[in-house]
Every structure is written in C-alpha cells, then in structure tokens.
Structure 1
Amino acid sequence: MPNANQCACTGKTLPRLLRPGIMAFLAQGDAHGYQIAQHLSGMRMFAGREPDHAGIYRALKEMADQGLVASSWQPGDAGPSKRVFALTEAGRDCLETWLSTLCDYRDAINELLALMRRAKQENDWRNDR
C-alpha cells in the first residue's frame, strides 16, 4: 500500500455526517453553535478531533436557508448575545429520513463486513501472494 495514512481504507475520507449529527443534537433541544461543536467533538465520527467550527456554522446557515433549522438571538449570561438554533418541523422530517437512510446504509455495511470476514476466514488473503 503506497501511503497507508492517506488510504481511504483508514476511514479518513468517510463523510462526517455533520448535518444529521447537528439535527439529532437539536432534536434534543435548542442550542448555540459552540454547544453543537462540543457535542459533536465527543462523537466517534470525529475520532476525538475538534470539528471545524466554520463548517458547522456553514451547515447551520445552509440548513436555515432550507428551512430545516431556525435561529434566534438570546442574551448571554455574562457576555454577548448568542444565536440559538432550533430544529423546525421540516428539520424533524429530514432527520426521520436520515434515520431511515442511515439504517439502510448500516445494513448494507453489515452485509459487506460479513462477506469480508467470510472471505478472510475461508482464505487468509494476506498470505495468498
């Protein structure tokens, strides 16, 4: 393998699933951008890395433009006002579709994993050369 760290097989090129992550968090209650980023950073899909805050705000703006989230300004406790985001009804519908799509995707991945494990067990592909 030329450069194992850059190979797609490491999972580094998998999509981060940012939008459904944001929507799932907002389905639990309204939140501002920093709270969303903190929550996402604890998820496996970010592998312990801090998510790109600009990417989160870009996704929130796009989702607001699509009517999936709404925002309002709320005064901060000891500082400036914060923009708080809430999932809209359209966002809840979209999240429901994400749930179905990701469950289907998970099932397809499980099928592929079973095939790979079976192939490895029946024929140790690492020593076939």
Structure 2
Amino acid sequence: MRTVVLDTGAQQAADSCRCEGGQPKNFARPCLLLLLSEAPAHGYELIDRMRPFGFDVGDPASVYKALRQMERDGIVSSRWELPGRGPARRVYTLTSDGRDLLDAWAHTLERNRAVLDTFLDRFRSSTPTPFDVSHPGPVGHVLESIGVRR
C-alpha cells in the first residue's frame, strides 16, 4: 500500500471531491430486494440487515417509504403478522417481478464492477507520481543522496 502526500493544491482538490463515500444512486432498492430474496422481513429487521451494505439509516421512514413504493410497483408484497407479544408488524416478501428486477440489478452491478475493476487495475499500474512515497521521484532521490530521510 502506498502513502500519498499531497501538496496544498492537490489537498484542496481532494477535500472538495464529491466522490467519497455513499452508494450508487438508488442502491437501497437492490439491497432491499436481495435481503427479501434471502427471507421475508419487517422494516426494522431490513434496516438492521442493510448495515453491511454501508447504510446507517437515521430516518427509518425513508426505508418504509421505499418499501411502500416497491409494493405499489409490484416487486414486493406485504402481510400483517401478529407476533406473540407487541404490535402487529408488516412483513415484506419478494414477488416474482421483484426477483426479475433483482436479477437485472445484479447484472448491472456486475457490469459496473467490471468497469471499476478496469479503472482500479489501470490506476494501480499507472506510472508512479512524485507523490508516491515508494517511488519518491527526482527530489526524493536527491534528498536521499545527501542523507535526508523522509
């Protein structure tokens, strides 16, 4: 792993980068579909199971809103379940149309993964920059030749 030291201009550019964190647009939908393909579930259970995908749902209403829209779209269905204790819960299940949509999402994500892998492979094999500590460039060689260590 290489350590990159940025000059002030490069650091400012990195600080203003809008590419950090987050998931692709609408990524919650395929995640919900995948989780429901594994097992029917109620909203709070789905919220908890979404964490490994990078979601920290601060507003559960957004997940319920998405589930209701997915139900209107016919890709999930729901039924009320009466647990032994506590209030009734709406349990969501994936429909066959939902399974088809999940397959389409998986295909799209696989294609996107191939593109990202190509980008990252080319990035890793690109010519080292002067900021690359493992390849310090001419300035680093001069400093090392006079005994200055970084």
Query: What TM bracket, shorter-length normalisation?
Result: 0.7 to 0.9
Aligned to 2:17: 7
1:125–1:94: structure 2 CA closer, same or farther, 3 Å change rule? farther
1:125–1:36: structure 2 CA closer, same or farther, 3 Å change rule? farther
How many Å separate the matches in 1 of 2:21 and 2:113?
15
Are 2:42 and 1:55 aligned? no
Q: Name the one with the larger helix percent.
A: 1
How many Å separate the matches in 2 of 1:96 and 1:124?
41
SS in 2 for 1:7: coil
2:131 pairs with one of 116, 119, 126? 126
How many Å separate the matches in 2 of 1:29 and 1:58?
20
Are 2:100 and 1:101 aligned? no
Question: What is the CA deviation profile of residues 89-121 of structure 1, one whole-angstrom value per residue up to 9, with x for unaligned ones?
Answer: 0000000101111000000000011121122xx
Are 2:33 and 1:26 aligned? no
Are 2:98 and 1:88 aligned? no
Higher alpha-carbon Rg:
2
How many Å separate the matches in 1 of 2:79 and 2:119?
44
How many Å separate the matches in 2 of 1:23 and 1:38?
14
1:38 pairs with one of 43, 48, 52? 48
1:73–1:13: structure 2 CA closer, same or farther, 3 Å change rule? closer
Question: What is the CA deviation profile of residues 23-76 of structure 1, one whole-angstrom value per residue up to 9, with x for unaligned ones?
Answer: 1010011100011001012x1423xx3453111111101111110000011112
Q: What are structure 1's unaligned runs of at least 5 residues?
A: none
TM-score (norm 1): 0.83
Q: What are structure 2's unaligned runs of at least 5 residues?
A: 1-11, 138-150
Q: Identity percentage over the alignment? A: 30
